[in-house]
Amino acid sequence: MIQSIAATIPRLLAQAGRQEGEIRGIGVSIPGEIDPSKGICLQSPRFGWKNLAFAELLAASVHVPVWIDDDVNAFAVAQRLFGVGRDHHNFAALAVGAGIGCSLVIKGEIYHGSHSAAGKLGHITSVANGRLCECGRHGCLMAHASESYMLNEWQSRTGSSISRDEFASCVEQKDHLALSILSDCGTRIGSHLADVVNLFDPEIIVVGGEAVQFGDALLVPIRKTMVEFTFFSKPELVADWVPSSRARGAAALATQGIFDFEREPSG
């Protein structure tokens, strides 16, 4: 991947009509547990990485500062700088896609936790001895409510595979099975999201990830169940996702680093 990024930069510069010397820094968002201060990918089950000095290796290839973080954290940083989060000091950023994560912004800063593993909502055990998750454990929320689960559940019930866009089309057509799958997943996510609200009391929850494409069929049951199980606070749930959100999140990491002189690059 490092070589691919380095090889892609000249093509992107050519498309933008810019020179290599104009690059101030690069941000990379990675699904996994990331130590952003050291620029190390502690682990990424999706890619099979462990203790990879990603930022240092990429910086050596591109000769500019590099900032890395978990992909959901990057989404949260983008929200804090450019999105709904600009108006809030404490908020949560929920992302539902291939995985499920919920980053926390507390007093304007991403909360990474003691071991850079905070926000892993998708790896909360949701079903005892449930489905195998990509992390190697069984029963994680991600294994029972991510976009991959939704599409696989459709296939297991119908015997035919389906793409995200095809599934979204079924949702728009009010297909009973598609709506039922989303209702079940939304309800499951909402019940765990309520625990996040009860523990951290965010002002607002911003929702992103590719599954936002499914709209209210997913968001309404998330919101309804979250409200049902929250103790006191009932934060607003706001969807904010566009196809370029992953790239915007990565860019936000570099933007944050470049314009905050107290921060050092990851590599």
Do 92 and 210 belong to one domain? Answer: yes
- Is the residue at 231 inside a domain? yes
What is the CATH number for 23?
A: 3.30.420.40
- Is the residue at 170 inside a domain? yes
Do 97 and 180 belong to one domain? Answer: yes
Above 50 in pLDDT, residue 231?
A: yes
Taking the CB of residue 257, how many other CB atoms lie within 10 A of it?
Answer: 23
Task: Tell me how many domains the chain contains.
Answer: 2
- Is the residue at 77 inside a domain? no
- Identity of the highest mean pLDDT range in 2-11, 223-232, 242-251: 223-232
CA gap 168, 150 in Å, rounded: 11
Taking residues 141-158, report their average pLDDT: 97
Tens of pLDDT, residues 232-245: 999 999 999 988 99
- Is the residue at 265 inside a domain? no
Tens of pLDDT, residues 110-149: 999 999 999 999 999 999 999 999 999 999 999 999 999 9
Do 126 and 218 belong to one domain? Answer: yes
Do 11 and 136 belong to one domain? Answer: no
Do 144 and 38 belong to one domain? Answer: no
pLDDT at residue number 128: 96
Tens of pLDDT, residues 27-41: 999 999 999 999 999
Owning domain of residue 163:
84-239
Do 114 and 159 belong to one domain? Answer: yes
Above 80 in pLDDT, residue 83?
A: yes
